[in-house]
Amino acid sequence: MEWSIQQLARLSGVTSRTLRHYDDLGLLPPTRVGANGYRHYDQAALVRLQRILLLRELGLGLPAIAEVLDGQTDDVAALTTHRLLLEQERERVDRLIASVTTTIERLEGGEELMAEEAFDGFDHTVYKEEVEQRWGADAYARSDRWWRGLGSEGQAAFRAEAAAIQTGFAAAHAAGTPAGDPAVQALAARHYAWVRAGWGDVAPSAEAYLGLGDMYVADPRFAKHYGGADGAAYVREAMGVYAASELA
């Protein structure tokens, strides 16, 4: 089945001009062009457009979207990553809704408003105290400066990389791939680079990296991103293999 550019524009909510612009950039070429010059799109093109629009929703610019699409050609894996990001965003929005609801209830009841409740869900600083306790105030300050310096597009790209790594680990775990397999270790290398970036480009020691793996298993807030305790334990094992071979 195919859709004309006008039909696709109506279904997706973007303009025909935007679709032509995506074609010019190489983001979304038509499946075929008729003798009359009209563009037509098949199901694969629809899925690709969905991915483009999802990445736009996450705040990525078109050059960054092109890089993501070029680097992740498996549509199912890519959409799994998108779904994970959307679920994480839903959790954040749910926290915002709960925060506003609590504020309304306290104001209506004439109760004292707690600042922590009022601003829960607005940004990453909700973990400030915990990070400082685990790794020190300097570590938090360095990471905070780096995060704010990324801007919205950089932050979205960082989240997208996290979701892609999480999806990769989950798929490898589900397939029964050993933690020491080269493909899994490639994921571990990406994960280590991601952690390093988040720590203000300071390379975690083997001890710190292994401690992070322990935290993934022990803390349900982190374990859920890897499919629960079993998935987190698999990731920790992969991190352990990586640390032994690369960080020793």
b/e map 19-57, b = 16+ CB within 10 Å: beebeeeebbebeeeeeeeebbbeeebbebbebbebbee
State pLDDT tens for residues 154-191: 877 888 888 888 888 887 887 788 999 998 999 999 99
Of 132 and 1, more confident: 1
State pLDDT tens for residues 36-83: 999 999 998 998 998 888 878 766 678 878 877 876 667 777 777 677
State pLDDT tens for residues 118-154: 445 545 554 555 555 655 666 667 666 777 777 777 8
Q: Which pLDDT does position 122 carry in this prediction?
A: 46
pTM listed for this prediction? 0.55
Contacts 24+ apart (CB under 8 A), 156-159: 156/58, 156/59, 156/60, 156/64, 157/60, 157/64, 158/194, 158/197, 158/198, 159/58, 159/85, 159/88
> What residues does 39 pair with on adjacent strands?
33
Q: Which pLDDT does position 53 carry in this prediction?
A: 87
For residue 165, give the nearest of 75, 228, 55, 72 by alpha carbon: 72
Q: Which pLDDT does position 28 carry in this prediction?
A: 94
